[in-house]
Chains A and B, each alone.
Chain A
Amino acid sequence: MTRPDPEVAQADTPEMRTSGRPAEALDAPLDHRPGTSGVATPGGGWRRADGPTRGQQRRKRKGGGRRGGARDGDPTVEDAEFQSYYGRQIVKSAVWKTPDVPLYLFLGGAAGSSAVLGAAAEFSDRPALARTAHLIAGGGAVASVGFLIHDLGRPERFLHMLRVFKPTSPLSVGSYILSPFSALTGAAAALTLAERVDRVPGWVKAPWLRRTAGVGGAVFGGPMAAYTAVLLANTATPSWHEPGNQLPFVFTGSGLAAGGGLCMAFTPVDQAGPARKAAVVGAAVELAAMHKVENDHGIVSEPFHIGRAGKLLRIAKACTAAGAVGAAVLGGKRWGAVASGALLAAGSALTRFGVFDAGMASSKDPKYVVVPQRERLAARAAGTQT
């Protein structure tokens, strides 16, 4: 099959007809084919003579190989017509590890919104909520730093992240958000814990110290939850890049749902009101923004519906919706708050895993690169777009 054997090449197998342009083009009289002005013309009837058909490739690729397609072949999805180099992927998939990076995204969001809740709780006479929020924010931030460093190819060079500041690199901007955020929220959490320890000197327990750290961390809370969306979107990965203006709202909404949910679960109900409201509104924003991501982008939205990403996102939606309703209705009861808080956190985490997976899947199938770019070219040629 790999040899340029004329016998093989001549065999008029169905593969040749399925590998690219409509089969009729082959049989049409010469002058009826599109663009037959020369011997080697677009639509001149050239098609790949060897190699498996797309269907065969998919079957083979399922067997393994990280570069292979990740599509599950949902029968309801029409196969778009396009050409490719033996079905191989065009853009490279992110080398970020899972679960490190999806967990980093989740913790960053939960910590970001908790930091804001914790700072505000300090000044509204809700000490229990402040304590919980500081601990979640600080714990989440420190853990996410751990995940981020662990994900580097050369972890010992983590500080190289702070060599330069580049607004064109969301990871550079993010490093300058994450560093102060984790330091300040970590300090607020440590000071919160120190209050309960007898041996700690008195000045460490001064509330102003904890409050300053908490407010400082809260300043970076919003950016912390939002920048990770730009981190994913500012790539050539089709299903991350296209919804790039909506993902920040998915991520901050999801961060509010998770942070609010967790704070609500670990705080006495009479102090947890603001966390509950944040969780419910956040869940609504997450569901609404995610709906746009999943439906507004044509073929590039497809990976959000199929395969592992589709399953994760369906479960995520169920968890988030149930958690939001639960928080609104039963959030005033302790057990209701715990159950719905857990559901919201789970929904948020699964959303991150699902979005991550969908992007990875979109990078592995050349379809998601070629088809949208072809449409773009066609639109430009038709003069409807510049």
Chain B
Amino acid sequence: MSQFSSASPAFTGHDPENRLYGPLPDVTGEAGYEPDHPARVGFFTDTSVCIGCKACEVACKEWNTLPMDDADGTRDALGLSGMSYDNTGMLGANSWRHVAFVEQSRSVDLPMPSMGVPAAPDQGVGSAGGCGGSCGSESPAHGNADGTTIDQHSVLNAQALSSFDPQTAQSGDREIRWLMSSDVCKHCTHAGCLDVCPTGALFRTEFGTVVVQDDICNGCGYCVPACPYGVIDQRKGDGRVFKCTMCYDRLTDGLQPACATACPTQSIQFGDLDELQARADARLATLTEQGVTTARLYGRDTDDGVGGAGAFFLLLDEPEVYGLPPDPVVTTRDLPSMWRHAAGAAAMLVGVALSGFLGRRR
């Protein structure tokens, strides 16, 4: 019954060690492993270099022999989603990597002569490589401090970006970009799926990841609505639930996960979590410096609603654009309060039922 004491915050709400919520530096140790357990591993998925090739999806399907399904999870159906190049649609029991594909466009209002820049009309609006000789002549303007040059600065960034950024292109007065992101189970520090599993089928591995034991799972399905990211799902025709294992079977043999191995652009980086976090911070700094101010890390913050994710991301737009919740919170954070209210409600029931027996017999 050591299980009981370790989870008592669920009843009492007294949780000084952040077992339900908040940062947890050693999640593996908290799960009961000896102090010499391996370091926590994870993924840093840098979507700014993803080319949407879906090698990760295929590698995962092959390694884990996942069955075929369509974008709505229907088994053995070949269905086109009809919304983009994305026919996988979502993470689920049969897709443990999902490459989201978003096509965006915007009109580009580049600085016009009215804004005081002479000979500007052609600049920056041409095709991606159409920098011509004007780039060099603009460069010295960087040092100036007036508003005009700040606008020019952003134009130069636009050009710089389109020359190295495979995701953006220009066409006339329109700029088009493709956001691609390989989504996966976040292997949360506070994993809702793991907290609510009544059979112990879901467990924390020695690598700090979250894995389902398919010989234990009885398909109660509780973990499915408990995941704040909508990752884990029940496989139709099987009854049990499935999700990414972070290739537990490969990790124990000293191999990298199949998806990270297959990724040709290093968009999916696997490694020790602390190392990945440092690498991600550096990458974000670089991008910010280059003017990509929409770049942000998602799941990196250990103060977030799930105590930080084991698989985190560098995104170029709001999380919900990629189908990710903007501020996920592990449901168990609120469980102590719910239990207390349930205890009150149960007492109310007993009190009301018994009070009818008091007093005058009618």
Using a CB–CB distance below 8 Å, which chain A residues touch chain B? Answer: 1-2, 4, 6, 9-10, 12, 16, 26, 29-31, 35-42, 44-52, 65-67, 82-86, 88-96, 112-113, 116-117, 120-121, 124, 151-155, 157-158, 160-161, 163-172, 174-175, 218, 221-223, 225-227, 229-231, 233-237, 240-241, 244-246, 248-249, 251-253, 255-256, 259-260, 270, 273-278, 281-282, 285, 363, 366, 369-370, 373-374, 376-377
Contact = CB atoms under 8 A, between A and B. Distances in A.
Contacts of A167: 4, 7-8, 10-11, 339
B4 A165 contact: yes
Given A83-B320, A112-B349, A236-B192, A373 B327 contact: yes
B331 A9 contact: no
A282 B238 contact: no
Contacts of B316: 40
Contact of A10 (B105, B196, B225, B294): B105
A51 B199 contact: no
Given A39-B291, A91-B227, A226-B345, A9 B174 contact: yes
Contact of B345 (A41, A91, A229, A376): A229
A365 to B, nearest CB: 13
Contacts of B294: 38, 40-42, 44
B293 to A, nearest CB: 4
A169 B234 contact: no
B103 A48 contact: yes
Contact of A6 (B176, B178, B318, B337): B176
B130 interface: no
B171 A95 contact: no
A83 to B, nearest CB: 5
B354 A116 contact: yes
Most buried by B among A4, A26, A151, A218: A4
Nearest 9 interchain pairs by C-beta? A153-B219, A153-B239, A85-B323, A274-B356, A222-B346, A157-B218, A248-B345, A45-B106, A172-B198
23 contacts: A6-B172, A10-B172, A12-B107, A30-B111, A38-B291, A39-B154, A47-B105, A91-B228, A92-B233, A94-B224, A116-B350, A152-B221, A153-B220, A157-B219, A161-B198, A168-B335, A171-B198, A221-B349, A225-B346, A235-B192, A236-B228, A248-B345, A274-B353
Contact of A46 (B20, B161, B317): B317
A49 B195 contact: no
Interface string B91-112: 0100000001011111101110
Contacts of B174: 6, 9-10
Interface in B218-246: 218-222, 224-234, 238-241
B83 A26 contact: no
Given A221-B350, A226-B343, A273-B356, A168 B106 contact: no
Contacts of A160: 199, 201, 216-218
A38 to B, nearest CB: 4
Contact of A249 (B157, B172, B226, B345): B345
A366 B326 CA distance: 11
Contacts of A241: 331, 334
A47 B85 CA distance: 17
A45 B361 CA distance: 74
A202 to B, nearest CB: 29
B341 interface: yes
Given A2-B83, A377-B327, A91 B230 contact: yes
Contacts of B326: 370, 373-374, 377
A48 B103 CA distance: 6
